Amino acid sequence: MRHPITRRSVLAAAAALVAGRAVAQAKKYGPGASDTEIKLGQTMPYSGPASAYGTIGKLHTAYFKRVNDSGGINGRKINLISLDDGYSPPKAVEQVRKLVEQDEVLALFQTLGTPSNSAIHKYINAKKVPHLFLATGATKWADPKNFPWTLGFNLSYQAEGQIYAKYLLKNKPAAKIAILYQNDDYGKDVLKGVKDGLGTAGAKLIVAEASYEVTDATVDSQILTLQGSGADTFINITTPKFGAQAVRKAWDTGWKPLHIINNVSASVGSVLVPAGLDKSVGLLTLQYYKDPNDPQWKDDPSMLEWRAFMGRYYRDGDPKDAANLYAYLTVQTMVHVLKACGNDLTRENLMKQATNIRNLKLPLLLPGMSLNTTPDDYFLVKQGQLARFTGVQWQGFGDVLSTGG
Amino acid sequence: MNTPSRRVAGLALLLMLACVLPFVVSNYRVFQCTLVLVYAIALLGLNMLTGYNGQISLGHGAFYAIGAYVAAILMDRFGVPYWLTLPVAGAVCAVAGFLFGLPALRFEGLYLSLATFALGVALPQILKYKGIEHWTGGAQGIVIVKPEPPAGVPLTQDQWLYFVALATAVLMFALGWNLLRGRIGRAMVAIRDQPIAAQAMGVDTSMIKAMTFGVSAMYTGVAGALGAIAIQFVAPDSFTIFLSISLVVGIVVGGLASISGALYGAIFIQFIPNVADEISKAAPWAIYGVFLIGFMYVMPTGVAGFIRIAVARWRRRRS
């Protein structure tokens, strides 16, 4: 025997390892997790028509670098494999199969876009891989019965509609409501939320409904029809181009309803400026996280922390872009769930923790808001706060409203 | 061995390798290889039109989409078995291509390519049209069920689908080879090179051109149907104009007017975007562009042309 010491020390080390195993029996690992690493995967539109959203994946990567620099989560480094799908569903299927079958990630995190997620929905649930915090607002991501492994992040379109309805029932119970909506999945999703929120008793409050196609040139005639119905409340479920047209037309015709515009079209730059800021005064919308351009949060500690992070870890990112703030919220939620898993990093336990989020108050959410899930309720964000347009900016008011109460 | 029998031996070897492949690589790789075969069929179709017949189409993604939707609607709404959707998709696209070809063929060169481009950009929006939404699923698209291998065949779903694609590809390539080396193939090339002379020789130019368009669309449609079954999902966003451009890139990189070029082109459009994404997240398409320019510079006649020249040079040196 030429190296007795080496052999003996190897044996000793092996014995120690066995003993160590016995002590830390609680450690359990699924695919993609080990003593040193947790592997996550995502697809992002780094190229293609939605590439502006690619910044979300870049921020996640930067945030995990910060987590890893400070020792990781329970001593494990996070390895996020973020792949380009070009916003193309077939490419998303291919990349997700790579993540699941070849890279063997523990879970998917924030895969972006309704079409891409629709394409992988069945596959990922058949494979029983956690499909967490999807970056899309469609309501179908909260379907624990049929798709127990999929859990979205965004305030769902239906929830938004419900909150508007609840607000009206409480504050304007005699409202005569007119609704304009885009005739597709998104528009119908919000509309369903409004109707569900009003309930059977409130359904009679709706005096007029009109829809438009994305291919339409204008919504002028729809606005005239709605105005002619004598409604005093207008719920405007439109995408930015039509949102701007509707705001302008409703003002120009002299109709002065209580005007609620959905969050999709609440952008000051791309909707309210083209519509005319003076014509937008008094509009209502719903928000659930702080707006980086809102002066009231300028010196807010959470905003300062976020800006400091942007300056140190993600210099290429635009600190005016709300998508970067959104991405920060989502990655913090993911870190929260991974911490909650402790040493049981199986796919089952990850899903268990993700569906048992209790009262998670992230500082960048609006004050008084929290994130909650249960195994029967996959809607993570259920609250929002109404904001009124002052002519310069959105100003939050009133209590935090929720779909539940 | 003389040249033809050597070629047969080479093809047999290639086919054998293709049959062994799904048993030595992971299911994910098998899935990627299935997509390569799908693209190869589509590229062969486009190559007939552009490479052999000289008509540039920038809208073949539209026929790919029509094939995919025919397969998806038949499976989802009518419960048609998946294998039966392939010939139906091919037939629908052949008719669509022929009908589109008749008037469009009055255009020459660049004008035709713009007309086809119009088709390519329009189709994804047409698929969202409300009147046909109960069939197409609108912007949501259609999710389809992945076919199971027949009872008693010990293969995974991916392996089975690979063999379905392989059999289809072999059949389509054999048919294409037969067509292109015969009378019609010669007429196609003659129209490309000397349209006036071809007409003087008695070739029915417009008929051959429209027919080529139809056959080309049929190949692309069959590929689209196979692709939809492999991906298990169709949506308008799957078939943007970029797909059409990728197909053109595929035939040029693979080699114009070459049957084997379709396979090389398919490998390029399947794998190079992934390689580019691995090199740079910030600018994957810049890397892709570098690859493309590199290929064009090193192999101006495409991969197939490059191999042909290399083999010829090697033979000359030996003799």
The tens digit of pLDDT for each residue in A32-71 reads: 999 999 999 999 988 877 788 889 999 999 999 999 999 9
- The predicted pLDDT at position A20 comes to 46
Instruction: Pick B139's closest partner by Cβ from A86, A100, A184.
Output: A184
pLDDT digit string, tens, across residues B242-300: 999 999 999 999 999 999 999 999 999 999 988 988 888 778 888 999 999 999 999 99
A33: Cβ–Cβ under 8 A, 6 or more apart, which residues? A39, A76, A106, A345, A346
pLDDT band at B229 (very low <50, low <70, confident <90, very high): very high
Give the SS3 label for residue A107: strand
For the record, the structure tokens of A269 come out as 């730059």
Cα A225 versus chain centre, distance: 34
Rounded to an integer, the average pLDDT of B174-186 is: 93
Question: Is there a contact between B138 and A49 if contact means CB atoms under 8 Å apart?
Answer: no
Written as six digits, the tokens of A65 are: 């670098």
Short-list A94, A150, A154, CA closest to A122: A150
User: Average pLDDT for residues B34-48, to the nearest whole number?
Assistant: 96
Query: A319-334, pLDDT tens digit by residue?
Result: 888 889 999 999 999 9
Q: What is the pLDDT of residue A52?
A: 81
pLDDT at A395 over 90: no
For residue B26, the one-letter residue type is S
**pLDDT tens, A263-276?**
888 888 778 988 99
- Residues of chain B positioned with their CB less than 8 A from the CB of A115: 139, 141, 235, 237-238
DSSP type of residue A124: H
Task: Quickly state the pLDDT bin for A23 (edges 50, 70, 90).
Answer: very low
- Residues A219-261: tens digit of each pLDDT: 999 999 999 999 999 999 998 889 999 999 999 999 999 999 9
* Chain A residue numbers touching B158 (CB-CB < 8 A): none
Q: Which of A117, A120, A122 best tests the B interface by mutation, with the highest count of B CBs <10 A?
A: A122
Question: Given CB atoms, is A121 within the 8 Å cutoff of chain B?
Answer: yes
From chain B, pick out residues whose CB is under 8 angstroms from the CB of A46.
277, 281-282, 284
pLDDT at A305 over 60: yes
For the stretch B105-130, pLDDT in tens is 778 778 889 999 999 999 988 888 77
Rounded Cα distance, A275 and A277, in Å? 7
Nearest CA among A280, A388, A389 for reference residue A397: A388
Q: Which residues of A touch B35 (CB under 8 A)?
A: 94
Q: Do B237 and A89 touch (CB under 8 A)?
A: yes
* Predicted local confidence at residue A15, as pLDDT: 52
Global pTM value:
0.83
The 3 state secondary structure assigned to chain B is CCHHHHHHHHHHHHHHHHHHHHHHCCHHHHHHHHHHHHHHHHHHHHHHHHHHCCCCCCCHHHHHHHHHHHHHHHHHHHCCCHHHHHHHHHHHHHHHHHHHHHHHCCCCHHHHHHHHHHHHHHHHHHCCCHHHHHHHCHHHCEECCCCCCCCCCCCCHHHHHHHHHHHHHHHHHHHHHHHHHCHHHHHHHHHHHCHHHHHHCCCCHHHHHHHHHHHHHHHHHHHHHHHHHHHCEECHHHHCHHHHHHHHHHHHHHCCCCCCHHHHHHHHHHHHHHHHHHHCCCCHHHHHHHHHHHHHHHCCCHHHHHHHHHHHHHHHHHC
Question: Touching check for B35 and chain A: CB below 8 Å?
Answer: yes
From chain B, pick out residues whose CB is under 8 angstroms from the CB of A143: none
The interface residues of chain B toward chain A in range 37-96, judged by CB-CB distance below 8 A, are: none
* Average confidence (pLDDT) over A8-29: 57
Q: Residue A171 pLDDT more than 60?
A: yes
What is the least distance, in Å, from the CA of B138 to any CA of chain A? 8
pLDDT higher than 80, residue A16: no
Residue B28 sits at the chain A interface (C-beta within 8 Å): yes
Residue A321 CB neighbour total at 10 angstroms: 18
B42 Cβ neighbours under 8 A, 6+ residues apart: B60, B64, B219, B220, B223, B224, B227, B247, B250, B266
Contact A118 B140 (CB under 8 A): yes
Q: What's the rounded Cα separation, in Å, for the pair A33 and A103?
A: 11
| Beta-sheet pairing, A401-402 with A383-389 | antiparallel
CB contact A94 to B (< 8 Å): yes
User: Is B271 near chain A, with CB under 8 Å?
Assistant: no
A window 164-203, beta carbon within 8 A of B: 183-185
Q: Do B28 and A97 touch (CB under 8 A)?
A: yes
> Is the CB of A118 less than 8 angstroms away from the CB of B26?
no
State yes or no: ipTM above 0.95.
no
**pLDDT digits 0-9 by tens, A125-165:** 999 999 999 998 889 999 999 999 999 999 999 999 999 99
pLDDT score, position A8: 54
Average pLDDT of the residues in B151-178: 94
Q: Cα separation of A91 and A83, whole Å?
A: 10
In DSSP terms, A77 is beta-bridged to A37
In the predicted structure, residue A1 carries a pLDDT above the cut 50: no
Q: Which residues 101-120 of A are in CB contact (within 8 Å) with B?
A: 101-102, 114-115, 118-119
Nearest to B140 among A97, A185, A213 (CB): A185
Lowest-confidence pick of A135-144, A391-400, B153-162 = A391-400
**pLDDT for the residue numbered A236:** 96
Say which of B27, B237, B285 has its CB closest to residue A87: B237
Is some CB atom of chain B closer than 8 A to the CB atom of A303?
no
From CA B244, how far away is CA A135, in angstroms rounded?
28
pLDDT recorded at residue A7: 54
Residue A6 in this model has a pLDDT that exceeds 60: no
Question: Is-contact B249 B268, C-beta < 8 A?
Answer: yes
The size of the A-B interface in CB pairs under 8 A is 84
> Which of residues 214 through 273 in chain A touch B, CB cutoff 8 A?
214-215
Secondary structure element (H or E) that encloses residue A175, with its range? none
Q: What angle do CA B19, B22, B23 make, to 5 degrees?
A: 95
Q: A47 and B284 in contact by Cβ < 8 A?
A: yes
Higher pLDDT residue, A25 or B137?
B137
Asked if A119's CB is within 8 angstroms of B233's CB, the reply is: yes
Mutation target for A interface from B128, B148, B158, B233: give the one with most A CBs within 10 A: B233
Residues 136-155 of B with CB under 8 A from A: 138-141, 143
Interface check for A282 against chain B (CB to CB < 8 A): the answer is no
- To 5 degrees, how large is the angle CA B142–CA B147–CA B153? 175
Query: Could you please report the per-residue DSSP string of A320-386?
Result: T-HHHHHHHHHHHHHHHHHHHHTTEE-HHHHHHHHT---SB--TTBPTT--B--BTTB--S--EEEE
pLDDT over threshold 90, residue B5:
no
Stretch B217-225: mean pLDDT, rounded? 97
Chain A CB within 8 Å of residue B227 CB = yes
Question: What pLDDT is attached to residue A9?
Answer: 55
Min Cα–Cα distance to chain A from B61, Å: 13
Tokens 């002066």 correspond to A295
Given pLDDT bands bounded at 50, 70 and 90, which one contains residue A26?
Answer: confident
pLDDT tier at A197, thresholds 50, 70, 90 = very high
Residue B186 at interface with chain A, using a CB cutoff of 8 Å: no
**Per-residue confidence band for A19, with pLDDT thresholds at 50, 70 and 90:** very low
- The yes-or-no verdict on residue A2 having pLDDT over 50 is no
